[in-house]
């Protein structure tokens, strides 16, 4: 057992046969993160997704899951910061309408 409570084995890239890291189980990571968030553990869910994004920054599904959890938590400032990060990695993403939909679910700052 790992001593860090936010450690998650699915978010760890394992070496493949050629010595390079193989892909992480992003679908499993997302499912586990959503389960944590629904269970009131959004900070742990975000930490899990953060680990996975560090290892696989081009996987848009991980980013969208992170944004969805931030939007559900009504974390406007954190959501906007995460959108900026997302756009650094995915400036031409066809999934931007999904992000706009999540943004519209946030409370009006006025």
Question: Residue 47's pLDDT band (boundaries 50, 70, 90)?
Answer: very high
If you average pLDDT over every residue of the chain, what do you get? 82
pLDDT in tens, 5-44: 444 555 555 555 555 555 788 999 999 999 999 999 999 9
Which pLDDT does position 74 carry in this prediction?
81
What is the fold of 9-104?
A: 1.25.40
Residue 52 has pLDDT above 90, yes or no: yes
Residues linked to residue 15 through DSSP beta bridges, in sequence order: 21
Pairwise CA distance, residues 94 & 77, whole Å? 23
CA distance 33 to 13: 17
* Between residues 101 and 75, the one the model is more confident about: 101
Instruction: DSSP for 17-84, please give it.
Output: TTSSBPPP-HHHHHHHHHHHHHTT-HHHHHHHHHHHHHH-TT-HHHHHHHHHHHHHTT-HHHHHHHHH
What is the reported pLDDT for 108? 74
Domain residues of the chain, as ranges?
Answer: 9-104
């Amino acid at each position: 057992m790992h001593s860090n409570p936010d450690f998650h084995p699915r978010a760890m890239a394992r070496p493949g046969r050629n010595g390079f890291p193989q892909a992480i189980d992003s679908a499993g990571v997302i499912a586990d993160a959503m389960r944590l968030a629904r269970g009131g553990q959004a900070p742990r869910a975000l930490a899990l997704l953060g680990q996975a994004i560090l290892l696989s920054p081009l996987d848009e599904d991980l980013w969208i899951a992170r944004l969805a959890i931030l939007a559900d938590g009504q974390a406007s400032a954190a959501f906007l910061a995460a959108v900026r990060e997302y756009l650094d990695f995915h400036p031409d993403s066809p999934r931007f309408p999904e992000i706009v939909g999540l943004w519209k679910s946030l409370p009006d700052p006025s």
